[in-house]
A = this chain, B = another copy of it.
Amino acid sequence: MLEALLSPTLLPGEQERPQRLLDAMRYAALDGGKRLRPFLVIESAALFGASGSGVLRAACALELVHCYSLVHDDLPAMDDDDLRRGKPTVHRAFDEATAILAGDGLLTYAFDVMADPATHPDAAVRCELALGLARASGLGGMAGGQMLDLAAEAAGIALSRAEIEQLQAMKTGALLRFGAEAGAIFARADAHERAALIAYGQALGAAFQIADDILDAEGDEAAMGKRVAKDAGRNKGTLVGALGIEAARKLRDELAQQAVDALAPFGARANVLVQAARFTAQRAH
């Protein structure tokens, strides 16, 4: 579906097509990634028997936002990364201006996809999805979390545990939480079911981030031959740095269990989401 949404014929019949921009958007969004966010949309919708191209479109809209955020985060002015998923980052493969525009284009297209009647017959549902996506992605969500992260790094401040939890709930947690919630919105689930999925997505998101940070720390350990987790300053933006690796591991497992517990109302129907939480706690990439 993502391939179809970013089809090379997306811009038919124009005299002059911004082909380079479409190429960069395709490069950024296709071919790679865990697809955890769209997985959450699809599986949470499936809990209520919802499936089909509309659900896939909503899932893709969320993935488009995730992909845009990677393109912009990789920029020289941000994290300045040369590689992403084993390939040159967008600003390396194209150029910086094209990467900025490709991120902008992906973000904009996410709302195009979400608001389009093809995504859901009920406009109220489409609006709620678009609104939820905007809230998860903007100032109070992902973009705000990235700002907190950059600001803390620039100031050289070691954040408290509560501050790190807040930052990560915004920077990575908000999109994952919305992924789980989106299925409930799509299927017009009742308030209890929706709250259960929000709780699941929230706990899963927090567990995911810690698991990711543990993998980074352990990777570093192997590479550097020392326990980098001792050096809390180096990991100041992570709970591994703030708590140490053992306590972080314990917290990760508790959060994964919280995520599983939140699914109790759905019984065996939620098995795939339960497995996802367990899998996330075991490994992140």
Contacts of A103 in B (CB 8 A): 104
Q: Which residue of B lies closest to A77 (CB)?
A: B96
Instruction: Assess whether B104 is in contact with A77, with CB atoms less than 8 Å apart.
Output: no
Contacts of A115 in B (CB 8 A): 115, 127-128, 130-131, 134
Interface string of A153-172 (1 = CB under 8 A from B): 00000000011001100100
Instruction: Assess whether A112 is in contact with B97, with CB atoms less than 8 Å apart.
Output: no
Contacts of A96 in B (CB 8 A): 77
Instruction: Assess whether A105 is in contact with B138, with CB atoms less than 8 Å apart.
Output: yes
Least Cβ distance of A223 to chain B in Å? Answer: 27
Instruction: Assess whether B123 is in contact with A163, with CB atoms less than 8 Å apart.
Output: no
Q: Confirm or deny: A75 has a beta carbon within 8 angstroms of a beta carbon on chain B.
A: yes
A22 to B139, CA, bound (A): 7
A114 to B15, CA, bound (A): 31
Find A108's partner among B97, B105, B134, B163 (CB 8 Å cutoff).
B134
| Oligomeric state, in copies | 2
Find A143's partner among B75, B77, B105 (CB 8 Å cutoff).
B105
Instruction: Assess whether B104 is in contact with A18, with CB atoms less than 8 Å apart.
Output: no
- If A11-B139, A109-B138, A130-B115 touch, does A18 touch B166 (CB 8 Å cutoff)? no
Interface string of A123-145 (1 = CB under 8 A from B): 11011101101110111100111
Least Cβ distance of A97 to chain B in Å? Answer: 5
Q: Confirm or deny: A70 has a beta carbon within 8 angstroms of a beta carbon on chain B.
A: no
Q: Confirm or deny: A10 has a beta carbon within 8 angstroms of a beta carbon on chain B.
A: yes
Instruction: Assess whether A20 is in contact with B138, with CB atoms less than 8 Å apart.
Output: no
- If A77-B96, A115-B127, A127-B115 touch, does A18 touch B108 (CB 8 Å cutoff)? no
List 10 tightest A-B contacts by C-beta distance, closest first. A77-B96, A18-B144, A112-B134, A108-B138, A21-B147, A18-B147, A123-B124, A123-B123, A115-B131, A115-B130
Identify 7 residue pairs between A and B in the complex whose beta-carbon atoms are under 8 Å apart, listed by A's number. A101-B143, A101-B147, A104-B138, A105-B143, A108-B137, A109-B138, A111-B131
